[in-house]
Amino acid sequence: MGKMLDNLKANNRAWATRKVAADPDFFKRLVAQQTPEYLWIGCSDSRVPANEIVDLDPGELFVHRNVANLAPPQDANYLSVLQFAVDVLKVKHILVVGHYGCGGVAAAVDGQRRGLVDHWLHPIREVYAENRETLEAIADRPAMLNRLCELNVMRQVKNVASDVFLQEAWARGQDITVHGWVYSLENGLVTDLNVSIASSDSG
């Protein structure tokens, strides 16, 4: 038997107790239904905890996370989340949230081989190739990578907005906006990249 993670179980009990102390019906309500208005598509990085950053409770944020916050049009996991969020939960906003200092973005373009993740990160190399001139003009490498983080978010926003699920939702008059944000590990603040798309013709 390995370690039984008693500290995490104790944390869990304390957390559940605190929640009920603050709001006796908290879990009863959530059992009945979830009605989140937001879908978060973010990076798996442990320093970018979705609910905490925007100070939302369980039930308020539908979350999909993967390495480097990608929205690849052939990924069944992402697509399943997207369809459920759009068609069933009817979220009002989809937040694609990258972060500066993203290890996935850096790994995509450092020329090293790691295995499967190199394939996963391929879309970022495409974004790099399409913006090569601009990016190579940035002498400072961390600054260049941070710009690539932003460009990656912008591309993923386009992926989401051009998806059939979004196009169909807009066609039937559903109110839903796709946003691109970047989070800073250094100060905990989110920057809106102002690339929001709210209809099929605003992209």
| Count, residues in the chain | 203
Which residue of the set 64, 102, 155, 179 is catalytic?
102
Residues 98, 99, 102, 106, Cα dihedral to 10°: 70
| Distance (Å, whole) CA 110 – CA 187 | 26
Helices (H), the chain: 6-22, 26-32, 50-53, 76-83, 103-108, 116-120, 122-130, 132-136, 141-162, 164-171
Q: By rule CB under 5 A, what string of x and - marks binding of each residue 85-104 to Co ion?
A: -----------------x-x
Catalytically annotated residue among 43, 64, 147, 149: 43
Least distance from Co ion to the Cβ atom of residue 132, Å: 22
- Span 100-129, contacts to Co ion by CB under 5 A: 102, 104
Secondary element (H or E) of residue 97: strand 93-99
The alpha-carbon radius of gyration of the chain (Å, integer) is: 19
Catalytic, 99? Answer yes
Q: What is the DSSP letter of 10?
A: H
Does 45 contact Co ion by CB under 5 A?
A: yes
CB of 144 to Co ion, least distance (A): 16
When the beta carbons of 45 and 150 are compared against Co ion, the nearer one is 45
47 labelled catalytic: yes
Single out the catalytic residue among 45, 155, 163, 179.
Answer: 45
* Catalytic site residue from 13, 18, 47, 114: 47
Element counts in the chain: helices (H) and strands (E): 10, 5
Nearer to Co ion, 51 or 200 (CB): 51
- Residue 43, interface with Co ion (CB under 5 A)? yes
Please report whether residue 169 would count as binding Co ion according to CB under 5 A.
no
Residues labelled catalytic:
43, 45, 47, 99, 102
**Residue numbers of the site for Co ion (CB under 5 A)?**
43, 45, 102, 104
